[in-house]
Amino acid sequence: MELAGRHIVLGVTGGIAAYKAAELVRLLVREGAAVQVVMTEAATRFVTPVTFQALSGRPVFTDQWDPRVANNMAHIDLSREADALLVAPASADFLAKLANGLADDLLTTLVLARDCRLLVAPAMNRQMWENPATCRNLATLRSDGVDILGPASGDQACGETGLGRMLEAEEILLEMVAHFQPRLLADKRVLLTAGPTFEAIDPVRGITNLSSGKMGYAIARAAREAGAQVTLVSGPVSLPCPQGVNRIDVSSALQMHAAVHGKVAENDVFIAVAAVADYRPAMPVAQKIKKGAQAAPPPIELVQNPDILAEVAMLPAPPLCVGFAAESEKLDEYAESKRRSKKIPLIVGNLINDGFGGDDNTLILFDDDGQHPLAPAPKLQLARQLVARIATLLAERQ
């Protein structure tokens, strides 16, 4: 439960995307948050308060003069209870009021009275989004420290296509979870590799491995949550790119090597999570190899791939380099010897049966201070612990 103990006030304004806010409440509650919904009068025309009451388990507030609030200060009481205020969907009208400090209903009043972070997920027609007035209002809100989530681009309820769709509920949930993580890597740039590589033998066959990319993608997400600017060089996997992460898709080790070298100079940290093929076929065949064309099965001559991590660590001014080692035995000995041979400050060891493919893992961090075992846990949780260790090493470096 990523939001256990968090108290979130969800403001819903008038727009067709209000129906997505119902799903958002369900997801926030599922993650352990206490959700208090406050709706504008226009929002109640799209979805009834009863829907939100049923999903949040709390009565919904719509009126500044609600007789249920004895002191008539719902705006103060509600905002003081909140760890975060989220407005989704946030209409163009609401953003305009917010940018100008207007407070003419319960939601605008409590937003103005807040003493916690405010996140808004805009939703409107693409022309409204592009209107200079909306652009001005957004610039004001950004400079006031309001977090703007999205919007996304795509089909709109009005039949047009473009920017202005509210983010999906799942995406807003991830932003909320990220919002509560410590900003340990604020202003840092992190480059990662993840997943397997695919080394072609012919147009349909190749050498690869069982890496799913889950560990690397979890670290990319954790680094982004911690405030880093993240570039993920990914081998072929079937995972969605973590929100806010810049992904570069590659297939072979040589492509991964080129992508990393194209980006590494801009980064403070390099984390090599990928299971890179050590060898590739020397001469991939242009046409499909046909069975029976030769008397014996065709031999496949292999040549060695460059060691991406070792090369990065040898650069004149390398980023903080973190390696991974997946071993079937003698984890301590092999991981530490890889750390020394690649001359990197930190390597993360995992057993093959723990690491490959699953949602959970068990890690041991090896650095100059010795070994730091991390208890078995979901990969995202371990990724956050690794990010914390990397932040400490970065601070020690400065």
Q: Which of 182, 203, 357, 376 binds ligand PMT (CB under 6 A)?
A: 357
Q: Is 272 in the site for ligand PMT (CB under 6 A)?
A: yes
- What number of CA atoms fall less than 13 Å from residue 333's CA on the CB side? 3
| Pairing between β-strand 246-249 and β-strand 229-234 as defined by DSSP bridges | parallel
Whether 135 sits among the annotated catalytic residues: the reply is no
Q: Can you tell me the distance from the alpha carbon of 120 to that of 112, in angstroms, rounded to the nearest whole number?
A: 14
Stretch that binds ligand PMT, among 96-104, 176-184, 282-290, 300-308 (CB under 6 A): 300-308
Q: Which residue among the candidates 116, 158, 241, 321 is catalytic per the annotation?
A: 158
The residue (of 214 and 247) whose beta carbon lies closer to ligand PMT is 214
Helices (H), the chain: 18-30, 49-56, 74-81, 92-99, 106-112, 126-130, 132-143, 169-179, 214-225, 253-263, 308-313, 331-341, 352-355, 379-397
Residue 330 marked ligand-binding: no
Residue 306 marked ligand-binding: yes
Binders of ligand PMT: how many residues, by CB under 6 A?
Answer: 28
Nearest to 149 by CA among 116, 174, 130, 181: 174
DSSP track, 84-107: EEEEEEE-HHHHHHHHTT---SHH
Q: Is 350 in the site for ligand PMT (CB under 6 A)?
A: yes
Residue 343 marked ligand-binding: no
DSSP track, 218-266: HHHHHHHHTT-EEEEEE-S---PPPTT-EEEE--SHHHHHHHHHHHGGG
The residue (of 122 and 213) whose beta carbon lies closer to ligand PMT is 213
By CB under 6 A, the residues from 239 to 258 that bind ligand PMT are 253
Beta bridge partners of 118: 85
Q: Which amino acid is it at 47?
A: V
Residue closest to ligand PMT (Cβ): 355
Q: Is 269 in the site for ligand PMT (CB under 6 A)?
A: no
Q: Is 280 in the site for ligand PMT (CB under 6 A)?
A: no
Residue 290 marked ligand-binding: no
Q: Which of 111, 166, 325, 382 binds ligand PMT (CB under 6 A)?
A: 325
Residue 278 marked ligand-binding: yes
φ/ψ region of 92 (left if φ > 0, alpha if ψ in -120 to 50, else beta) reads alpha
Q: Is 15 in the site for ligand PMT (CB under 6 A)?
A: no
Q: Which of 23, 77, 307, 360 binds ligand PMT (CB under 6 A)?
A: 307
Residue 155 marked ligand-binding: no
By CB under 6 A, the residues from 196 to 235 that bind ligand PMT are 211-216
Q: Which of 90, 141, 232, 274 binds ligand PMT (CB under 6 A)?
A: 274
Q: Can you tell me the distance from the alpha carbon of 26 to that of 175, in angstroms, rounded to the nearest whole number?
A: 15
Number of other residues whose CB lies within 10 A of the CB of residue 398: 4
| Burial letters 214-235, b for 16+ CB under 10 A, else e | bbbbbbbbbbbbbbbbbbbbbb
Q: Is 360 in the site for ligand PMT (CB under 6 A)?
A: no
Residue 368 marked ligand-binding: no
Q: Which of 355, 364, 365, 391 binds ligand PMT (CB under 6 A)?
A: 355
Q: Is 164 in the site for ligand PMT (CB under 6 A)?
A: no
Q: Which of 356, 383, 390, 391 binds ligand PMT (CB under 6 A)?
A: 356
DSSP track, 313-341: HTSSSPPEEEEEEEESS-HHHHHHHHHHH
Which of the residues are catalytic?
158
Residues lying near ligand PMT in the complex (CB under 6 A) are found at 193, 195, 211-216, 253, 272-276, 278, 305, 307-309, 323-326, 338, 350, 355-357
